[in-house]
Chain A
């Protein structure tokens, strides 16, 4: 009984982390039609930058949460620069965008290796969340429960932003029909920068939040990127609900697959993607784009 409960909590925790990572990826793809292959790198950069601040690697130390916010803001600014000075030069050219974002991800990986070396960096659990919570007969790490709570809060905040503000309506209009959005006077290029920076910041935030359970190591980017792709393909690009449901689904499939069928873990993980692509290519909650 305990085994299943713990596996379930781990799945939801991992789903929550994936949501933080994939919601930005999905928004960027939905609005800008850019398959941003730097997303895994942004996650890893966030983890390295945040982790370094937490352990005082650069000569100054901050508490975990401030470090997480600072890492997210730094990477968001980097995302805005990538969008403005590189991707904006390649409008509508998806092959070039894929190649450029892939190239940046290689450069980021090399940069991280140069600055932080090849050894994994462990990030300590934030103060006060190192213990366990006893619920019913089961014991759960407090930090994992905190990640679930953070993912829910971010999901609600994103939902409020997208669904209850004029900026959110403008972003959704841009996802619906970018040309018409421009015709009604929406400066879609500005929205692109905002959304790209938001997505980058969220990915970095996910990176540092995930640090205490995943640790930070070279190759973390390439481990996370396919999972974000998986979430977006299953949930549907541009859909917040799709990202949420897709993340939780992938969280469950990943954890249960690893625990029950370890030799088939990747088969189990990517089979739903194959089925969705065959039966509902726009994803569970995505809109069909002709």
Chain B
């Protein structure tokens, strides 16, 4: 079995008294992409928040490349090579595009064999951001904000990238651009969890699929197998 980049073991998480994740276990293999699917409220974003340390698991363990990070703060988890592209993008609105990238800059881990991400390489991937380098992030279009959120995550030179609904609220053409970027990132060897509502987007790029339903893992499978199983998708996602 290859090393797991990120692993959740029997995780229970709560928002107040609300039990939102129940005994959730799955793992993201190194240099693989895991598609995390589920209806609204199934617990997808909560998994991302637990993985990033924004929400503490009340039970169970979270580990990154074999190291337990369950009780660590987000900044300590970021220092271990995990980055989040959050739902709703959450770019720093009162900072310029350049500042959004600068504040997230972190040197790659020693021994990393990937070329490090810098402002120049991020601008190389998203030339439109370069044109708007001095612009306040609040004034960017939705697509540009998404590119900035991805660029900001890459500036941390992560080994694991958590992407929470990067296509949300974007025009179809921009979604295609974002998905092309995600494909490139996967090819670069990053381990990625891609959370989406739309299974078709995920099936095209992911290696493995986990479907959540009402806070628990309902299905662990592959895109190829799931494409053949409309009944299962209808049962858990209400589509097809």
Instruction: Flag whether A260 is at the interface (Cβ < 8 A).
Output: no
Interface of A is mostly: helix
- Does B52 contact A183, Cβ atoms closer than 8 Å? yes
Instruction: Flag whether A39 is at the interface (Cβ < 8 A).
Output: no
Query: CB-CB < 8 A to A144: which residues of B?
Result: none
Instruction: Report B4-26 CB contacts with A as 1/0, cut-off 8 Å.
Output: 00000000000000000000000
- Does B73 contact A169, Cβ atoms closer than 8 Å? no
Q: In chain A between 168 and 205, which residues have their CB closer than 8 angstroms to a CB of chain B?
A: 169-170, 172-173, 175-177, 179-188
- Does A185 contact B93, Cβ atoms closer than 8 Å? no
Query: CB < 8 Å: which of B94, B103, B106, B156 contacts A181?
Result: B103
Least Cβ–Cβ distance between B47 and chain A, in angstroms: 15
Query: CB-CB < 8 A to B84: which residues of A?
Result: 183
Least Cβ–Cβ distance between B93 and chain A, in angstroms: 6
Q: In chain B between 32 and 67, which residues have their CB closer than 8 angstroms to a CB of chain A?
A: 52, 54
Query: CB-CB < 8 A to A84: which residues of B?
Result: none
Q: In chain B between 197 and 211, which residues have their CB closer than 8 angstroms to a CB of chain A?
A: none
Query: CB < 8 Å: which of B79, B92, B102 contacts A176?
Result: B92
Least Cβ–Cβ distance between A32 and chain B, in angstroms: 16
Contact A184/B104 with A172-B94, A179-B74, A287-B94 known, Cβ cut-off 8 Å = yes
A179 to B73, CA, bound (A): 10
Interchain Cβ contacts within 8 Å, total number: 64
- Does A185 contact B104, Cβ atoms closer than 8 Å? yes
A180 to B95, CA, bound (A): 13
Least Cβ–Cβ distance between A239 and chain B, in angstroms: 9
Query: CB-CB < 8 A to A188: which residues of B?
Result: 75
Contact A176/B95 with A184-B152, A185-B106 known, Cβ cut-off 8 Å = yes
- Does B75 contact A180, Cβ atoms closer than 8 Å? no
Least Cβ–Cβ distance between B240 and chain A, in angstroms: 34
- Does B75 contact A176, Cβ atoms closer than 8 Å? no
Query: CB < 8 Å: which of A169, A173, A176, A183 contacts B74?
Result: A183
A166 to B102, CA, bound (A): 7
Query: CB-CB < 8 A to B78: which residues of A?
Result: 182-185
Name the CB-closest residue of A to B158. Answer: A185
A166 to B101, CA, bound (A): 10
Interface residue count on the A side (C-beta < 8 Å): 19
Query: CB < 8 Å: which of A166, A169, A175, A185 contacts B75?
Result: A185
Name the CB-closest residue of B to A176. Answer: B92
Q: In chain B between 68 and 98, which residues have their CB closer than 8 angstroms to a CB of chain A?
A: 73-75, 78-79, 83-84, 86, 90, 92-95
Query: CB-CB < 8 A to B99: which residues of A?
Result: 169, 172-173
- Which of A170, A177, A180, A184 has the most chain B CB atoms inside 10 A of its CB? A184
Name the CB-closest residue of A to B162. Answer: A183
Least Cβ–Cβ distance between A194 and chain B, in angstroms: 15
- Which of A179, A188, A287 has the most chain B CB atoms inside 10 A of its CB? A179
A175 to B92, CA, bound (A): 9
A186 to B155, CA, bound (A): 12
- Does A182 contact B92, Cβ atoms closer than 8 Å? no
Query: CB-CB < 8 A to A186: which residues of B?
Result: 75, 103-104
A183 to B90, CA, bound (A): 11
Least Cβ–Cβ distance between B164 and chain A, in angstroms: 11
A169 to B97, CA, bound (A): 11
Least Cβ–Cβ distance between A93 and chain B, in angstroms: 16
- Does B74 contact A182, Cβ atoms closer than 8 Å? yes
Name the CB-closest residue of B to A184. Answer: B104
- Does A180 contact B103, Cβ atoms closer than 8 Å? no
Least Cβ–Cβ distance between B151 and chain A, in angstroms: 11
Instruction: Report A250-264 CB contacts with B as 1/0, cut-off 8 Å.
Output: 000000000000000
Write 11 A-B pairs (CB below 8 A) sorted by A numbering.
A166-B103, A169-B103, A173-B99, A176-B92, A179-B74, A181-B103, A182-B73, A183-B75, A184-B152, A184-B153, A287-B94
What residues of chain A have their CB less than 8 Å away from a CB belonging to chain B?
166, 169-170, 172-173, 175-177, 179-188, 287
Excluding A176-B95, A186-B104, 11 further A-B contacts by CB distance (< 8 Å) are: A166-B103, A172-B92, A172-B99, A173-B103, A175-B94, A183-B84, A183-B86, A184-B153, A185-B79, A187-B75, A287-B94
